[in-house]
Amino acid sequence: MEYRRSVLSGIRLLKRLIAILSLLYLSAAFFGVGPAWLQGRHGSGSLAAALWLELALSFLERKLDDQPPAAWTPSPAISGTITVALTGIAAAALTAWHARDVRDYIVPVAMLASTAVLATLVYRFAARNAGRIGEARFKTPPYLE
């Protein structure tokens, strides 16, 4: 049992390390800083390898863990805020992808600022109206039962 627990902690540590290194790789590739291997000039093979290793470690972690993972169901406020934030960040990143000058970053910065305001508004709205937000439920017609 102690061996299993130490293997699980090692797997979780490796997963965190892979996540940190993947973010470092992506940021270096996006901003074009660091050595050539870190900027992604040799293709995205190392990022794909990190993804496959992460998936394999997640599978192994789930098989070794005795207790099933707790299901996390975010509230409508959290899920709406995450959706708005990720969409805005992706749009700003795509807009700033080929920026050459400081003036080219005006629109992406404005997009990030408006994303922050919109995410705040979505969070406040969804937190107030959480009881009225949810999945649609339809009556099943009798001939389909």
- Same domain for 15 and 61, yes or no, is yes
At residue 58's C-alpha, the angle toward residues 15 and 7, to 5°, is 70
**Whether residue 5 has pLDDT greater than 90:** no
Count the neighbouring beta carbons within 10 Å of the beta carbon of residue 52: 10
- Same domain for 44 and 19, yes or no, is yes
- The H-or-E segment that residue 56 falls in is helix 45-64
Count the neighbouring beta carbons within 10 Å of the beta carbon of residue 75: 13
Q: What pLDDT sits at residue 17?
A: 82
**Whether residue 56 has pLDDT greater than 90:** no
- Same domain for 28 and 89, yes or no, is no
- Same domain for 63 and 14, yes or no, is yes
**Whether residue 31 has pLDDT greater than 70:** no
Average pLDDT, the chain: 79
- Same domain for 3 and 42, yes or no, is yes
Percent of the chain predicted with pLDDT > 90: 20
**Whether residue 41 has pLDDT greater than 60:** no
Q: What pLDDT sits at residue 130?
A: 79
pLDDT band at residue 52 using 50, 70 and 90 as cut-offs:
confident
Range of the domain at 30: 1-68
Q: What pLDDT sits at residue 109?
A: 92
> Where is pLDDT greater, at 24 or 75?
75
- Same domain for 76 and 111, yes or no, is yes
At residue 111's C-alpha, the angle toward residues 96 and 104, to 5°, is 35
Q: Please give the radius of gyration of the chain, using alpha carbons only, rounded to the nearest integer.
A: 21
In a domain, 140, yes or no: no
> Where is pLDDT greater, at 8 or 91?
91
- Same domain for 5 and 60, yes or no, is yes
> Where is pLDDT greater, at 73 or 42?
73
Contact 28, 46 (CB under 8 A): no
- Same domain for 32 and 52, yes or no, is yes
In a domain, 10, yes or no: yes
Percent of the chain predicted with pLDDT > 70: 77
- Same domain for 58 and 81, yes or no, is no
**Coil, helix or strand at residue 51:** helix
